[in-house]
Amino acid sequence: MAEHGVVVHLDRLLEERGMTLTELSERVGVTVVNLSILKNGRARAVRFSTLSALCEALDCQPGDLLGYAGS
């Protein structure tokens, strides 16, 4: 987990929706590399535009995608 304590549940959501990272990348317009950074907890910040695009593509709320596990 990164030092900020925010957890990204992208793996779980992709599995639930039967979507691959590459498909998600094509839908939201974010590179696979950056999505991997997000998925693996190495991102330091997420733009609202990216978060909105992810929520639309995954049909979820930000709270479904992000969690907080403490620092």
Q: Is 69 in the site for other proteins (CB under 8 A)?
A: no
Contacts (Cβ under 8 Å, ≥6 apart) of 6:
66, 67, 68, 69
How near is the Cβ of 10 to other proteins at its closest, in Å?
Answer: 10
Chain positions 9 to 48 lying near other proteins, rule: CB under 8 A, are: 30, 34-35, 37-38, 42-47
Q: Is 3 in the site for other proteins (CB under 8 A)?
A: no
Torsion of CA 17, 10, 36, 25, to 10 degrees: 40
Interacting residues toward other proteins by CB under 8 A: 30, 34-35, 37-38, 42-47, 50
